[in-house]
């Protein structure tokens, strides 16, 4: 297509040649302007004359509004589910703290009415509307995370206090405070660690002492041997009951020197260090359990070996 442009100012006429690409571009441009004009008209009708909208447009807007509300409700429900899960964990932590507090009160010789863990603490104060504001979902999540951290911290500190109170109330000879080896160093402490066999995070319920094979293992306190045999996980293991629901375990030994039912004294040699059971090398795995629950041996031992 040729277009000839004639102007009184120009001495010569100009000719413009339009090919297929130019025509296609012009068609797309025209359609875009047409669609934009339609949306502009629709917006004007919706904004200034809503009564002039068609039934289809009203249905489309209602559907869009319903979808938006459903998304908001889904977001709110997910947030509430997360908060509910956090509250469930905190309630479980509070129950453990209540039980621990009751035990501490009993160990400390306090009267039950002085520390009643079944009743909430008293609170109050004047009502000041100007000093109040709505709590957002983000604020709630932040407060829950902060409170959960405080609960964990208080649980650890109260656990340490319980250990101290038990140590002061029990006979020193029956309390496993003596290190089970005379020398060595810790290769793995109590708590969460990467399992050397699976490569996953796992709870380590004792302390590992790296010492040469054949090194003597000593009883941490007086007690009665309740187990002295091979265990699939612990290898050659000795388990001693010290009374008051306290038990110690000595695992991965190369040789056992005591038998079940035998009474042992604090500092008595009961086994020799080895590499048996689920073990990667010569070491002693030492555990302290109270009422069947693993405790951190570092809370009991007078001083770590090394």
Give the per-residue SS3 of the chain: CEEEECCCCCCCCEEEECCHHHHHHHHHHHHHHHHHHHHHHHHHHHHHCHHHCCHHHHHHHHHHHHHHHHHHHHHHHHHHHHHHHHHHHHHHHHHHHHHHHHHHHHHCCCCHHHCCCCCCCCCCCCCCHHHCCCCCHHHHHHHHHHHHHHHHHHHHHHHHHHHHHHHHHCCHHHCCCCCCCCCCEEEECCEEEECCCCCCEEEECCEEEECCCCCEEECCCCEEEEEEEEECCCEEEEEEECCCCEEEEEEEEEEECCCCCCEECCCCEEEEEECCCCCCCCEEEEEEEECCEEECHHHCCCCCCC
One domain, residues 251 and 220? yes
Domain co-membership, 211 together with 164: no
Q: Are residues 287 and 190 in the same domain?
A: yes
For residues 136 and 161, give the distance between their C-alpha atoms in angstroms, rounded to a whole number: 37
Q: Is residue 123 part of a domain?
A: no
Kindly state whether residue 154 falls inside one of the protein's structural domains.
yes
pLDDT for 83: 72
Residue numbers of the domain that contains 35: 2-48
Q: Does residue 220 lie within any of the structural domains? A: yes
Q: Are residues 201 and 254 in the same domain?
A: yes
Question: Which residues touch 281 (CB under 8 Å, ≥6 apart)?
Answer: 210, 275
Q: Could you tell me the pTM of the whole model?
A: 0.47
Q: Residue 127 corresponds to which tokens in the numbers above?
A: 């009502």
The reply to whether 223 falls in a domain is yes
Are residues 221 and 239 in contact, defined by beta-carbon separation less than 8 angstroms?
Answer: no
Is position 103 within any domain?
yes
Residue finishing a domain among 147, 169, 191: 169
Residues 99, 186, single domain; the answer is no
The answer to whether residues 151 and 218 belong to one domain is: no
Are 188 and 263 part of one and the same domain? yes
Per-residue confidence (pLDDT) for residue 265, from 0 to 100: 93
Flag whether 128 is in a domain: no
What's the number of domains the chain is made of? Answer: 3
180 and 208 belong to one structural domain: yes
Residues 180 and 229 in one domain: yes
pLDDT value for 304: 42
What's the confidence (pLDDT) of residue 305? 40
pLDDT of 111: 61
Q: 237 and 190 in one domain? A: yes
**How far is residue 230's CA from residue 234's CA, in Å, rounded to a whole number?**
8
What pLDDT score does 32 carry?
Answer: 77
Average pLDDT by stretches of 10, the chain with 306 residues: 57 61 72 72 60 61 69 72 71 72 66 58 64 67 75 73 66 82 81 84 89 94 95 95 93 96 94 94 93 89 52
129 lies in a domain? no
Burial class (CB in 10 A: 0-12, 13-18, 19+), 173: middle
Q: Are residues 90 and 197 in the same domain?
A: no
CATH number reported for the structural domain that contains residue 214 in this entry: 2.70.70.10
In this structure, is residue 185 part of a structural domain? yes
What pLDDT shows up at residue 283?
Answer: 93
Nearest alpha-carbon partner for 208 in 301, 300, 302, 297 = 297
């Amino acid at each position: 297509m040729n277009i000839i442009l004639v102007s009184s100012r120009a001495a010569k006429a100009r000719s413009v040649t339009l090919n297929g690409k130019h025509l296609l571009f012009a068609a797309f441009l025209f359609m875009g302007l047409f669609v934009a004009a339609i949306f502009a008209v629709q917006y004007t009708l919706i904004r200034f004359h809503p009564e002039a909208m068609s039934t289809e447009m009203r249905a489309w807007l209602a559907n869009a509004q319903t979808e938006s509300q459903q998304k908001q409700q889904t977001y709110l429900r997910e947030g509430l589910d997360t908060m509910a899960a956090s509250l469930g964990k905190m309630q479980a932590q509070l129950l453990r703290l209540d039980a621990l507090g009751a035990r501490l009160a009993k160990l400390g010789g306090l009267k039950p009415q002085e520390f009643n863990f079944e009743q909430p603490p008293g609170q109050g104060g004047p009502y000041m509307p100007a000093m109040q504001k709505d709590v957002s979902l983000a604020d709630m999540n932040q407060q829950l995370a902060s409170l959960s951290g405080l609960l964990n911290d208080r649980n650890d500190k109260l656990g340490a206090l319980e250990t101290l109170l038990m140590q002061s109330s029990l006979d020193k000879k029956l309390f496993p405070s003596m290190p089970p080896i005379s020398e060595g160093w810790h290769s793995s402490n109590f708590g969460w660690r990467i399992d050397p066999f699976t490569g996953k995070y796992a709870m380590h319920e004792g302390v590992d002492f790296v010492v040469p094979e054949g090194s003597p293992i000593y009883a941490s306190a007086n007690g009665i041997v309740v187990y002295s045999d091979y265990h699939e996980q612990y290898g050659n293991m000795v388990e001693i009951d010290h009374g008051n629901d306290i038990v110690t375990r000595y695992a991965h030994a190369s040789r056992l020197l005591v038998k079940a039912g035998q009474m042992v004294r604090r500092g008595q040699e009961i086994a020799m260090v080895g590499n048996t059971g689920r073990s990667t090398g010569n070491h002693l795995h030492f555990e302290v359990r109270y009422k069947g629950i693993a405790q951190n041996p570092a809370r009991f031992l007078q001083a770590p070996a090394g």
